[in-house]
Chain A
């Protein structure tokens, strides 16, 4: 099964800046989800975007999906130190399964 590829692998920014991470994939999807993982903890669901949607917002999060380019981006605006975590995209296909990428490690410096 396909796996999403996040880019960059690591990102370091200052508090207050915006953070953008990307996810690319190779075959068709039904939906794409973004998750956050704090060090030593489980993953937490952030946002889900379906293949017929182009953009979704949730608080300081903005997700876009371009199915023609097979890519998605997650934008976190006005980053805080508490946003420091790993962020994963997960691909939902025609079955029940989710396939996770390897993640982007975001560090927000105070």
Chain B
């Protein structure tokens, strides 16, 4: 059972480039989310989804797009990369979006924007 799989693990981009961070889970979880982790800032919620076809914004959504066409996949798109988006990105999933569900995390994508 793979859990939550994120690809790539590392990526270097130039300012202005676009890219998609992939996230897939094989646990049939309804709820998926993206966080970024910066030194001294903890984890901040970017976007989340409570099921296929449903997405919503988190705390820091600007510069990012998401879609949820299947239960398994929740890609995060950087539209035009900026140095401020250098961070470690984590995808997480939980059984449902109901309150009080433990979240399962991937191992992250380390992204550097030059």
Contact = CB atoms under 8 A, between A and B. Distances in A.
Q: Do A and B come from one complex?
A: yes
Interface of A: 1, 3, 30-31, 33, 35, 40-45, 48, 50, 88, 90, 92-103
A102 B90 contact: no
Interface of B: 4, 31, 35, 40-45, 48, 50, 58-59, 90, 92, 97-100, 102-108
14 contacts: A3-B42, A31-B100, A33-B103, A35-B105, A41-B107, A43-B43, A43-B103, A43-B105, A48-B100, A90-B103, A96-B50, A96-B98, A97-B45, A102-B40
A69 B98 CA distance: 26
B40 A97 contact: no
A90 B43 CA distance: 10
Contacts of B4: 42
B37 to A, nearest CB: 9
B43 A88 contact: yes
Contacts of B97: 96
A51 B77 CA distance: 36
Contacts of A30: 99-100
B107 A1 contact: no
A98 B92 CA distance: 11
Contacts of A35: 105
A106 B98 CA distance: 31
B45 A102 contact: no
Given A42-B108, A50-B100, A96-B48, A1 B59 contact: yes
A95 to B, nearest CB: 8
A102 B38 CA distance: 10
